[in-house]
Amino acid sequence: MASTVYVLCTLASTLCALLLLRDYGRTRSRLLLWSGLSFSVLALNNALVFVDLVLVPHVNFAVPRSATFFLATALLLYGLVRDTD
């Protein structure tokens, strides 16, 4: 059940990242770049949780997991502060 949820979250964040980065390629709008990167890292975070749960449950992934989530948050926040008047 939990692993399904994290797969779904990974797919959802990947979708958002792809849509944002696709349009960044078209319009070169920096907000799209930062939010696209943010969702990419968020997808990585979700994938990491899945890996932690299913593949290497004996290893504590807490630091990489929380660090990637924080990085995603920081990227998006930076983009929002910088590129929206």
Partner 1 sequence: MVTFLYGASATGCAVIALFFWRFWRQSIDRLFLMFSLAFWILALDRTVLGVWQVSDEWRAYIFLLRLVAFCLILYGIVEKNRR
Partner 2 sequence: MSEPASEELPTDLRAFLYSCIDSVEQVEILVLLCRSKRAWTAAGTAAHLSMTDAAARNHLETLAARGLLHIAVGSEVSYTYAPRSAQLREYAERLAESYTTSRTAIVRFIATNPRRLKQFSDAFKLRDPE
Nearer to partner 2, 8 or 59 (CB): 8
Nearer to partner 1, 56 or 77 (CB): 77
Integer Cα distance of 40 and 2 in angstroms: 21
Angle (deg, nearest 10), helices 30-50 and 2-27: 160
DSSP-derived letter for residue 1 is: -
- Does the protein bind partner 2 through residue 37 (CB under 8 A)? no
- Does the protein bind partner 1 through residue 55 (CB under 8 A)? no
- Does the protein bind partner 1 through residue 21 (CB under 8 A)? no
Nearer to partner 2, 48 or 76 (CB): 76
Both tokens of residue 68?
């990637």
